[in-house]
Amino acid sequence: MVVKFSENQDYEALRELFRHHIESFDHLVDAGLETLMNSIKPVEIYDSFTNRKLRIWLGKPELYPPQKERNLRTMREALLPSECRQAKISYTGNNAEVKALSLERS
């Protein structure tokens, strides 16, 4: 006999047990990460030789789903958490990219 999750008495209790964790993660993805990034002040580096100031800041964050790379080509597939546990690898997406730099004269 196959028991579907929705028919299992323990399913709702398990869902409730993990609900706060899932809601916390969803909030991080929807608003928290951008709020965190916006709270980090820009860094300014002054070059006295050229009399210029380089200003570096963090822009709008983007989250990418973890993917497997195949044979150094551009073909990618979704990576599942269970595969990571079995292979003892990290469940991570792409690294951050620098998208905005500003160079000004002082």
24 with 52, same domain: the answer is no
Number of structural domains (the chain) is 2
The three-class DSSP label of residue 105 is strand
49 with 98, same domain: the answer is yes
- Kindly report whether the global pTM for this prediction surpasses the value 0.75: no
Asked if 1 and 8 count as a contact pair (C-beta separation under 8 A), the reply is no
Tens-binned pLDDT, residue by residue, of the chain (106 aa)? 555 655 677 788 888 898 999 999 889 888 888 888 888 888 888 888 888 888 888 777 777 777 776 655 555 677 788 888 888 887 776 666 655 555 666 5
Range of the domain at 94: 42-106
Quote the DSSP letter at residue 73: S
Which among 78, 34, 77 is positioned nearest to 59, based on CA atoms?
Answer: 34
